[in-house]
Chain A
Amino acid sequence: MSDIASRVKAIIVDKLGVDENEVTAEASFTNDLGADSLDTVELIMEFEKEFDIQIPDDQAENIGTVGQAVSFIEAAK
């Protein structure tokens, strides 16, 4: 796992209180990991903070899974 992927995973485990092995690349924040709309906003903000990037709202809408988050961050770095 890339450094980015493991840091993303750590944030998700911390914020959503889920088990590490549930956080697969395909896992959807809302459908699989129990996030509601506020949780999702918080995750995006944590990614911004952790990786020192900006994720505009219109692009944040396209980040629905763990894998999509990792890809977005890798591209933004």
Chain B
Amino acid sequence: MKLKRVVVTGLGALTPIGNNIEEYWDGLVNGKSGAAPITHFDAAKFKTRFACEVKNFDVNDFIHRKEARKMDKFTQYAMVVADEAIVNSKLDVENVDPDRVGVIWGCGIGGIDTFEQQVVEYANGDGTPKFNPFFIPKMIADIAPGHISIKYGFRGPNFTTVSACASSANAIIDALNYIRLGHADVIVTGGSEASVTGAAMGGFNALHALSQRNDDPATASRPFDKDRDGFVMGEGGGALILEEYEHAVARGAKIYCEVAGGGLSADAHHLTAPHPEGLGATKVMQNCLQNAGLTPEDVDAINMHGTSTPLGDVAELKAVQKVFGEHAYNLNINSTKSMTGHLLGAAGAIEAIASVLAMEYGVVPPTINHAVLDENIDPKLNLTINKAQKRDVKVAMSNTFGFGGHNACVLFKKLEA
């Protein structure tokens, strides 16, 4: 059977550097940092006391109070970005065939804030269980696409993908493949996460995964810099409307680009550390190119996983050099996590959006906070350091890797004329 072509027709974002697509892109090209001292909880005793929080966001501006209080923040973020993307796509939600519209969402953790609150309340009580009836449906990671489907009546494929920090890239790839195979005409995909909480920050601190640059949060996320000391926790969400090409053309939709392919692999190495030679990362980029029917030379830009951890950044660049050879020097390599922090399960979504917009505007956002080159990194690579670069990006790659050794890679390409 011939696979159907899939295009991107709508975008939505709620990020630490901008609360909609326009603001997000503005933050990206201007090298804005989203990091600041934590306001969501008292972090005074934590090793890391800053994060990239969503700012100036009042859920009541978007969702009725009665509904909002039945949602953990990660679901609230999902609703807001899905709404923006649906509006942006100009999809006629009243007249589209609801059985042919799905929602495939990515989330690494789910409602950890809800979980914490309810368990703390239980632990502080006399042992009598007084759990709120909304505890479970607020917490479970699959509830976000459930809420989106209920709001719009979309009855197509509906679930959440969980692969830690690769979750929403997995969601995008699943959405791509379900449309390719004819299971749906349109899929609302993306991801959201809301893990700036005591348990999440404490847990990641215990793993020595987070930067502890408390004296200068804005420069803490510094992928590829010699003095990087861990990732910066972020939160928020991103949504993309993926649509079967003919369906999009028939309704005269604006087409941002084609989703050319997706790659998947596992490191099969360690719970949290990447394979030192980037074995799984190499495989996933190769798989993705093959899936897209593209060659390494076709690629113009890569938005890296690039979390700003000592091991991960070097291993990923080694993998890039293995996959791309000499062409690696022609690539615009960047890590938008230098600005947004690491949105865990939502990272794949907002970074895919950054790749799509880089093609749309012909600009590659920078890797900010770069001061000193790591001697383990080839200085001839163009890491798009500190300033955005103009580039006619025809093919863009986005990498995301998750704890557990899950790797996912997505390729977008400009629609051929």
Contacts and interface: CB of A to CB of B under 8 A. Distances in A.
Interface string B50-68: 0000000000000011110
Given A18-B66, A41-B133, A42-B133, 13 more contacts: A17-B65, A17-B66, A17-B67, A17-B69, A34-B66, A38-B133, A38-B134, A42-B132, A42-B134, A45-B130, A45-B133, A48-B130, A49-B130
Nearest to B132: A42
Nearest to A35: B66
Interface in A37-54: 38, 41-42, 45, 48-49
A38 B130 contact: no
Interface of A: 15-18, 34, 38, 41-42, 45, 48-49
13 contacts: A15-B66, A16-B66, A17-B64, A17-B67, A17-B69, A18-B66, A34-B66, A38-B70, A38-B133, A38-B137, A42-B134, A45-B130, A45-B133
Contacts of A15: 66, 69
Contacts of A45: 130, 132-133
A39 to B, nearest CB: 8
A49 B132 CA distance: 11
Contacts of B67: 17
Contacts of A42: 132-134
Interface size class of B (residues with CB under 8 A): 10 to 19
A41 B70 CA distance: 13
Nearest to A34: B66
A48 B133 CA distance: 14
Contacts of A17: 64-67, 69
A33 to B, nearest CB: 10
Contacts of A41: 133
Top 4 nearest A-B pairs (CB, nearest first) are A17-B66, A41-B133, A38-B133, A17-B65
Contacts of A49: 130
Contacts of B133: 38, 41-42, 45
